[in-house]
Structure 1
Amino acid sequence: MRAIVYAAKSTEDKRGSIPTQFEDGRALAAREGWEVAGQYADEAASAWSGDRGAQLASAMEHAERIAPCVLVVQHSDRLARGDGRSARHLGELYFWAIKAGVQLRSVQDDSTFTNPLLTFAMGERNAEDSRRKSLAVQAGMQRRGEAGKHHGGPRPYGYGYRGGLLVIDEAEAAIVRRIFAEFVAGGSLSAIARGLHREGVPTLRGRLWRQSTVSGILANPVYVGLIRHNAETFPARHEPLIDDETWRRAAEVLAARPSKGRGRPPKGNHLFRGGLLRCECGEAMVPRTNGGYEMYYCNGRGKLGREFCDMPHIRRVDIDSAVYLYFEQVSLDVEATRQAIAEARDHKLAEVRALRDAAEAEVQRAEERLGRVRRDYTDGKLDADDWRSFKAELEPQRVAARAQAERLAAQHGEVERWGEVRDAEAETLRRLSEIRALIAGEVRDAAGLDAVRVALSRTFERFVIRRQLRRVHVELIANGQLVIEPEVRETAIDGYSENLRPILRREPLGQAADAAKEQPPIFGPIDVMHGA
């Protein structure tokens, strides 16, 4: 009789459990006179939250090929610990073995597989034991997280353990900082992974750098000094590797990345990829290079035909050049915008100050008139009826003058605050300035395209190609045909004050109040043929 020996460990096998399991299995085979035909082992593969790993599947497939045979384990819980819902129950393997002509044997609980009742009873015991351990581990991890300690397990890249706490590994920390810096500067996940692999930088486990490895680092809050457990984050006791601003910018770029599509990647120098450019029908404009011609095709037309959408194929150079030219004109730097707001504020302040001073003077005159009448009444120059008559006339004038003066004083304070660019506004202006700077530097290669693409995605949800436009303030249509309408992200304009919106629309500040009722998009449309 031939035998297959299987071993497993739910976590990383730091203490040599798997070799011990192999020894026990081979010893049982020797006592029974079985020939060991193969050995398989899964490491860091749970039988409670999953069906072990690929090696168990391989062991079962091998056993089926050479049946009748024996599948040997150290204990039945090496095969399964599940409850039959989230993971395989031991009873399922019992009936698989009967059908496949395979005997299940265990070094430590061999009687388990002598009848189905014992197998199911042991399966329930294994599942309950794992459930209890899982709850205990979760509670412990929660306590560690709340205490600012890492949950244990494999160390995160860039850190090591010392006394149960995370300490910085300087060599790896330099790589982590490099990954964040390249990503927020516009580098793609694949480009970052290729660069690290090309330079021979080792991963945590000595494997290849992949996009998923890079994105895992970028999404791990441990690098900004936080511990995550069950979707909650807690302040940690270890030293962060990156600052809050870098973490925030990386998180925004990750969130802005389009979902992974299926088609082939474009070969050309297309600015728009991954659904950032959309057709008016709602489908993506996909980049294609055919016969040396770089184009954008409507995906809806390609999938459903002209009856669904008759948007023509559009040359890449027409779309991309229009966007480049537009942002050279519309993107304003923060200081220039602060200056424009300050100048408008100064003009308005002079007007309000003059009105306020006049109102204060009127208040003073009204109080003086009322004071003279009061003195005349006190000196006996006026009788009571005249005093009441004059007071009834002068008191409302004084109250109205005081109210007007207070209103203008409040308006004066409000206008003074025009000079303040709020945090949300300054951030968007900084991003627009970044877009303009990237474009002004000339986009010559894939890295430059990536940088512009990332900068655009931080501020804009999408760019929509339209043939008919909704009403807008800044009409940039020259040929009456195709235009691109930028759709800004809500997070990019959340918290804006009205004094900044007209500047982004390139309107005079004084027209903001007149245009307030229409509320057009902040960014005007882009004429495909002329760009502005």
Structure 2
Amino acid sequence: MTRAALYARFSSDQQKDRSIADQISLCRDLCAREGMTVISTFEDRAISGSAAVNRPGFQALMQAAESRLFDVIVAEDMDRIFRDQADYHNVRKRLDFLGITLHTATGKIGTIDGALRALMSEQFIENLRVHTRRGLEGVLRDGRHAGGRAYGYRAIKDKPGELEIVEDEAEIVRQIFSDYVAGKTPRQIAHDLNNRSVRPPRGRLWNGSTINGNVARGGGMILNDLYAGRIVWNKVRMVKDPATGKRLSRPNPKEQYRIVEAPHLRIIDDATFKAAQGIKAERRRDATPASAQRARAPKRVFSGLIRCGSCGGGMSSIGSDRKGLRLQCSAHRESGSCDNGRRIYLSDIEALAIKGLRQHLAHPEVIAEFVDAYNAERKRLKKEASTERARLERRLGEIEREMRRIVDSIVVTGMPPEQFVARMQELEAEKTKVMAGLERAKETDNVIALHPKALDRYKDAVVELADELKRGTPTEFATVRELVTAIIVHASPSRPGGAGTRANAEDDRNVRIDIKGRLAALCGNPALFPNMAMSG
């Protein structure tokens, strides 16, 4: 009897879960008519079919297919399984290799009709995208807002796309623009708003980035044309990463923007808005679109790992002086939510951290204990694996002999095959599990034991750690960054007079750091590698 796996999916959270039950019921009826036995069902709820990689139900279906737990996949229609041609062809090749066929309510899917239906499914998504865009452009032509939230406005109930001004929030917007034109920085404005306990557009606190925005994307309050009475649409486009199936936004060039005048939504007069844009242009640092979009690699070994001991937030660069690069709490600078305004030299933090790592990693008795424990555990696991492998090999032989006896009974004696179907299915399933266990046993045997001589090379590498980090590259930093999860900086409060005064010169170099690492997790023994503290 043919073993069938059922697959059902619906794409929108606005659809009903009942859709899954209806699809499964239809597939079960099809299997009953075709004489197929339903082995299992797989489903994805409220997930688009345009990518296979981000559907857990479909991925589970393919894993079961690799184990040959069924002979056919049954779905209501092709578009339930695939909305992308590449997914269809890749999966179809794999299923053909495994000997698994595809069936829908209209019958078995062949090579040619399957390719055509995959093309039609993908074209449906493309057409839907075009129709959606056309609808949004129609909304824009009517002078309505095509989507997205903006501080200072709210949607009018039962009037899709229509906004009205929230006067309390509009007054805050006017104050922000007035302060910005008067010379205040976005960070200073954010500090003032937080001190006044003004509710931000989202989150708990105002940040400088909320006001300043991003020029390439046209985001942020200062760049929002809606405040000047203009609805601007199509600033970004959404693209799907084929590797992850996730939708990502990409900025569009300004010539692709769609702009409609909306004087009834004006909060800021033209003169003030233009003055703010001029100041924004003067302050903006030159950057090419390519460099702005390029992923940042860590420039220093501990980049992004240094955190403020007062609030736990990150610490970022505030420029250099003759002594070197200085860091300050980002939360203090951006929103004023942290009282720690101390400025710390990065070179001091790096020197302390490297010193701590060298001292902590250079205890040969600790490493020797780890090596001994590791090798002992390897021996124990290998012994257990050998015993288990022998048992599995014996059981595999028994299963294969029983399967041969069943085949002989059918061929030689002429006994009806129907009597043995259930037993053969049980043996096939058990055989798959046994073979998977044998593969795991092989992987256990492949792990290499640590040799005691490795300690000498290890100690030499630890001694050279500081020099390597000074001349290292971002790629080489990755090894140390795997060991360190965070460096918490604790510094004594500044004395009256500011961080740059002579009274604070000594305090600026007096810090204590806590180095949090993964060594304890790697060894499974927190006592061997506790988090360390260094002062200097």
Q: What TM-score comes out, normalization by structure 2 length?
A: 0.39
